[in-house]
Structure 1
Amino acid sequence: MQNMETAQCAEEMAQAEKLLGGRLTPAEKSLVGVLMQTKALRSSAKDLFNIYRCQPYRFPDLMKKQIKSVELLEGKWDQKGSKRRWTFVDDQCGTWDDIVEDINDQAMSIMWTLQKGIVPQQRYSILKVVHQFFAHEDGCLAIVTLAYKKKHARIPAPNDYMEFLIKMLEAADRPPRAGTNEE
């Protein structure tokens, strides 16, 4: 069992190094981590990828109680290098700026990195998110990967941010078909 845990830890560190941009020192390894979650959704992979890639400005309509606005600061919505500002309804969350680091149309994945945000930057020096979508049965599977680097060891993993990323996926998913018992 210990060998399996060691292998899993080594795999997580390798993934963290890849996402965070290079080799980590032993001191940094204690501050970084990767959270990953898979969610089955009703929408097609192509439709959800399109929202994340080209239409993030739809999130204020999809999540009225959480997101006030999403603005394009630089570039184009569907372009690598574009910068966006997310303004949250909760004033304590404030505004967060991110940059789209990569878009892979064939793999249906998009990666973005937090650039500014008072609340998350109090705890984390790096927050990087990858959304990837795969066709699956009557919808798709979405995999969300959140790589992070804490400012110090006492900071918890950003599980609340991962929960919010999953809520975003659920909000972007199409509603159940009429006449079904789905929620």
Structure 2
Amino acid sequence: MSLVGKVEADVEIKAAPEKFHELFSSRPHHISNVSPGKIQGCALHEGDWGKEGTVVFWDYVHDGKAKVAKEIIESIDEKNNSITFKVIEGDLLEEYKNIKITIQATAKGEGSVVHWTMEYEKLHENIPEPNTLLQFVLDLSKDLDSHLITQA
């Protein structure tokens, strides 16, 4: 059984891909206002919003428990509405040696498809794949979409 893996899923939203991408790349600190039941806060620890190399700190609730994650923005692709975060500290590293999350929004009809990818290496074989975390971000995407489509 491999310790290295990848989970991925798509969620369709009504918002434009650029709007969804911009929320994660340049305004992640607004996400807690939009979905306070899932994200309690997002703080800038190093760098500037919207820039590669920026370090952000998330407070969130996953599986009913308060958790934290410190992530570095590894890459931002404005043309393809893609951003990649690498977890560098926090609760996820209690189960995973490393975990990288890529979010890409692509136009589809009047809205978008948001593709979430989580690449990870588990600390040992008894650690489950991060499927509940994947469902968490899919649900978060729907919360963010509801907010974005009400914004002019």
Q: TM-score, normalised by structure 1?
A: 0.76
Amino acid paired to 1:93: A
Give runs of aligned pairs for residues 69-108 of structure 1, distance below 5 A: 69-88=41-60, 92-108=65-81
The answer for unaligned runs of 5 or more in structure 2 is none
Q: Report deviation, 1:59.
A: 1.1
Q: 1:138 to 1:71 in 2, by over 3 A?
A: same
Higher relative contact order (CA 8 A, sep 6+): 2
Aligned to 2:87: 114
Identity score, percent: 23
The answer for unaligned runs of 5 or more in structure 1 is 1-28, 179-183
**Distance (whole Å) between structure 2 residues aligned to residue 55 and residue 176 of structure 1:** 12
Q: 1:143 to 1:152 in 2, by over 3 A?
A: same
SS at 1:131 equivalent: strand
**Is 2:15–2:148's contact at 8 Å kept on the other side of the alignment?**
no
> Which one of the candidate residues 29, 37, 49 is aligned to 1:65?
37
Aligned to 1:34: 6
**Is 2:19–2:148's contact at 8 Å kept on the other side of the alignment?**
no
Q: 1:132 to 1:122 in 2, by over 3 A?
A: same
Q: TM-score, normalised by structure 2?
A: 0.90
Q: 1:66 to 1:80 in 2, by over 3 A?
A: same
> Which one of the candidate residues 134, 138, 142 is aligned to 1:162?
134
Q: 1:155 to 1:60 in 2, by over 3 A?
A: same
Tell me the C-alpha RMSD between the 2 structures.
Answer: 2.0
Q: Report deviation, 1:74.
A: 0.5
Amino acid paired to 1:160: T
Task: Pick the structure with more strand per residue.
Answer: 2
